[in-house]
Amino acid sequence: MSADKNKKSISGFSKLTKLGKMKWLVENFFIDPENVMRELKSYWLQDDQQKVLDGFSENTISNFLLPYGVAPNFVINGKTYVVPMVTEESSVVAAASAAAKFWMTRGGFNAKVIDTQKIGQVHFLWEGASSKLFNIFPELKDRLKKDTAHITANMDKRGGGILDIELLDKTEDLSNYYQLKASFETCDSMGANFINSVLEEFGLILCDFIQEQKDFDEVEQECEVIMAILSNYTPDCLVRTWVECPVEDLGDFPNEMDARTFADRFCQAVWIATIDPYRATTHNKGIFNGIDAVVLATGNDFRAIEACGHTYASSKGQYRSLSSCKIKDGRFHFSMDLPLAVGTVGGLTKLHPIAKRSLELMGNPNAEELMGIIAATGLAQNFAALRSLVTTGIQKGHMKMHLQNILNHLEATEEEATAAMKHFHDKVVSFNNVRNLLDQLREPKSRRNLTNSN
Ligand code: MEV
């Protein structure tokens, strides 16, 4: 190991023991190394549990905690779920729960998986007349399938595997650039490892096959694979979710807003997110507040889900709302189509101890059922946000949770917290206002009386 003079960089860090890594960090980056060391260690789990977690990543020194909450009363396709959610944002779980309860008595959420195809690509360069490549493609396609059978055998047995392979001429965008675009069915797994293994093999087979072509000249027999990797854009791994009810069944809303006014305002709000990318981004962020929380709780890849969702939101040429709303024949209809490539086997889903429990909590759904649950939670989150936005505004609910966080931060006692909740029931919450109130409450009684009598 060697560290530079100012000790902010190091070589051989990954080779240090966990304690060695921590020691170097606390001694070089913190003013109170002993305390930091103690604190980091306090988040360690028992040895066997910690080993599992450490196995997921590299250079691990501790664990980063996030709240694990649940939203009960989610009725989806007639089945009632308690949905696990991992999020650091206050109000998200409360909002999902409130929306779930609201729709529970109005028919619940509906979810329908439209398709479950995943996509992968081999990007390669080849010089020659493209017709020559297309002529050999049918034979190449058979060969690609046949020569990857050893990788796909298990997936084939489970009812999945390679669905199709296309050859795409991309030479107008980049000289000599072609693509093998393959679609896959990966059943209950997200399938990233499976797809990437197949694609890398495709790359090798492709180059061998091209080299074997007797009527290709020397240049034509060369093929350069730039990369082989799945695409996280999976527009055909799509789930539709929706809620609907007669407008009058929506009930009454705060500020004496009737159901019809609410429904109209709600639809306008969704439409604004459809036509304005600034609003669409926040609108969709609210949807992902719900989606990411369940994706995380089930050990799925939230970066992949986010990336895909945002590309899908731009698929009509402009970034727009993922959800849509209409009022037709007196019925309120709120829906969303969303690509969701998730798994219930493989990856972290069964390795992460809590992810495994999350799946158990929902009755061990298969991947398609999980797609429905996740999408419904996203729609619920969106419903809750818009319901607040078009009626009371978002801050009322948010600030209640925020108040609790401020009170925790200022180490309020239970008694002080109760007094603060009462005080701020109809007042604006801010850090300063809460601190002032606590200062007042903490003043010795005699001084307080004196101040009050002045
Ligand atoms: C906050 O995390 C999410 C919202 O801003 C979403 C929205 O505005 O629709 C409330």
365-399 pLDDT tens trace: 999 999 999 999 999 999 999 999 999 888 776 77
Could you tell me which of 160, 149, 166, 159 has the C-alpha nearest to residue 191? 160
Task: Please answer whether residues 241 and 110 qualify as being in contact, where contact means their C-beta atoms are separated by less than 8 angstroms.
Answer: yes
Note whether 22 and 37 are within 8 A (CB). yes
Average pLDDT over every residue of 11-19 = 96
Annotated catalytic sites, by residue?
Answer: 89, 285, 301, 398
Which residue owns the Cα nearest ligand 1 atom 6? 286
114 alpha carbon – ligand 1 mean position (Å): 27
Please tell me the predicted confidence (pLDDT) of residue 429. Answer: 85
Taking the domains of the chain in order of start, what are their residue ranges? Answer: 2-54, 68-114+239-381, 118-231, 397-453
pLDDT at 378: 98
Closest CA to 289 of 270, 266, 313, 305: 305
Q: What is the pLDDT of residues 123-136, one digit of tens each?
A: 999 999 999 999 99
List residues near ligand 1 (CB under 6 A).
Answer: 89, 282-283, 285-286, 289, 385, 389, 394
- For 207, the token pair is 């180059």
Give the single-character DSSP code of 362.
T
- CATH placement of domain 118-231: 3.30.70.420
Averaged over 225-251, what is the pLDDT?
98
Measured in Å, residue 392 CA sits from the centre of ligand 1 at 14
**Ligand 1 atom closest to 386 (CA):** 9
Across 409-422, average pLDDT: 92
Nearest protein CA to atom 1 of ligand 1, as residue: 286
Residue nearest to atom 7 of ligand 1 (CA): 283
Helix axes 277-297, 259-275, angle to 10 degrees: 100
Closest CA to 282 of 307, 319, 312: 319
Which residues make Cβ contacts (< 8 Å) with residue 346, sequence separation at least 6?
Answer: 188, 189, 190, 191, 193
pLDDT for the residue 243: 98
Q: With beta carbons less than 8 A apart as the criterion, state whether 337 and 239 touch.
A: yes
In the prediction, which pLDDT does 8 show?
87
For 249, the token pair is: 């069944």
Q: CB neighbours of 270 closer than 8 A, spacing ≥ 6?
A: 283, 321, 323, 324, 325, 334, 386
Nearest CA to ligand 1 atom 9: 283
What does the alpha-carbon distance between residue 112 and residue 336 come to, in Å, rounded to a whole number?
Answer: 11
Is the four-CA dihedral 171, 238, 289, 86 of positive or negative sign? Answer: negative
Q: What is the pLDDT of residue 17?
A: 97
Model confidence pLDDT, tens digit, residues 69-85: 999 999 999 999 999 99
Which DSSP string corresponds to 280-304? HHHHHHHHHHHHHHHHHHTT--HHH
| Closest residue by CA, ligand 1 atom 10 | 385
> Looking at the domain 68-114+239-381, which fold is it?
3.90.770
For ligand 1, what atom is nearest to the CA of residue 394? 10
Please give the distance, rounded to the nearest whole angstrom, from the Cα atom of residue 289 to the centre of ligand 1: 8
The closest residue, in CA terms, to atom 3 on ligand 1 is 286
Q: What is the maximum alpha-carbon separation in the chain?
A: 104
CA of 171 to the centre of ligand 1 (A): 42
Q: Name the 3-class secondary structure at 213.
A: coil
Mean pLDDT of 236-256: 95
Q: Is 164 helix (H, G, I), strand (E, B) or coil?
A: strand
Cα–Cα distances in angstroms (integers) from residue 271 to residues 340, 365, 415, in the given order: 23, 33, 46
Mean of all residue pLDDT scores within the chain: 94
Position with higher pLDDT, 454 vs 435 = 435
- Pick from 90, 271, 389 the residue to mutate for probing ligand 1's pocket: most ligand atoms within 8 Å of its CB: 389
Mutate to test the pocket of ligand 1, among 287, 377, 394, 396 (most ligand atoms within 8 A of CB): 394
Ligand 1 centroid, distance to 159 Cα (angstroms): 40
Instruction: Using the Cα atoms of residue 312, residue 316, residue 318 and residue 324 in order, give the sign of their dihedral.
Output: negative
Q: pTM of this prediction?
A: 0.90
User: Binning pLDDT at 50, 70 and 90, where does residue 448 land?
Assistant: low
- Beta-carbon contacts of 94 under 8 Å, excluding residues fewer than 6 positions away, are 397, 401
Among 101-105, 255-259, 330-334, 385-389, where is mean pLDDT lowest?
255-259
pLDDT at 454 over 50: no
Ligand 1 centroid from CA 96, angstroms: 12
Residue 90's pLDDT band, with cuts at 50, 70 and 90, is: confident
| Residue 11 pLDDT exceeds 90 | yes
DSSP helix/strand/coil, 32: coil
> Which tens digit of pLDDT belongs to each residue from 311-364?
999 999 999 999 999 999 999 999 999 999 999 998 898 899 999 999 999 999
What confidence score (pLDDT) does residue 320 get?
A: 98
pLDDT tens digits along 177-230: 999 999 999 999 999 999 999 999 999 999 999 999 999 999 999 999 999 999
How does residue 138 score in pLDDT terms, banded at 50, 70 and 90?
A: very high
The proportion of the chain whose per-residue pLDDT surpasses 70, expressed as a percent, equals 96
CA of 396 to the centre of ligand 1 (A): 13
pLDDT, average across residues 253-276 = 95
Residue 256 clears pLDDT 90, i.e. is over it: no
The DSSP secondary structure of 381-412, one letter per residue, reads HHHHHHHHHHTT-SHHHHHHHHHHHHHHHTT-
Judge whether 68-114+239-381 and 118-231 match in fold.
no
For tokens 């009812």, the residue is: 159
Please state the φ and ψ torsions of residue 53, each to the nearest 5 degrees: -65, -45
Contact 67, 401 (CB under 8 A): no
Q: Which of 266, 272, 285 has the most ligand 1 atoms within 8 A of CB, as the residue to mutate?
A: 285
